[in-house]
Amino acid sequence: MYSGKEELTSSRQGSGGENVKKIIDDFRKGLERIRWFSTVFAERLKIEVAIFRLLYESDRVAKTRGELLRKIGERVMELKEHQDKNILKDSIIAEAVAEISRLEKTIDDLKTKIAEIGRATI
């Protein structure tokens, strides 16, 4: 009596080595894909961390700028009683204005770096 199992068993035995090779090749291809993805992910993560650092620095500089603006406002209020004094020639105000100009350039530079890094491709 023929059940068909004999033919199935003999075909499995003949191609056993081929199946193992295919499994090994598929496994290697899968590992290569995982390596590629992890490399791309790691590089993108580095970019994102750099952007976060620059954003934090930009925010810190903007806060310093805000403090200087407040300082100028307070000094102007102090000097409003002295009509004869030129507010822009006051040393405290002049120093704060110069520092604000420097900080604004720093903020612009940071924004430019952020834009450049954000456009980076892997």
> What is the spatial distance between Cα 60 and Cα 76, in angstroms, rounded to a whole number?
25
What mean pLDDT value characterizes the chain? 86
**Looking at 1-15, 47-61, 77-91, which range is the least confident one?**
1-15
- Give the pLDDT band of residue 15 (cuts 50, 70, 90): low
> What is the spatial distance between Cα 107 and Cα 112, in angstroms, rounded to a whole number?
9
pLDDT of residue 80: 82
The answer, yes or no, to whether residue 76 has pLDDT greater than 60, is: yes
Please state the length of the chain.
122
Cβ-based burial of 53 (10 A; exposed 0-12, middle 13-18, buried ≥19): middle
- Give the pLDDT band of residue 52 (cuts 50, 70, 90): very high
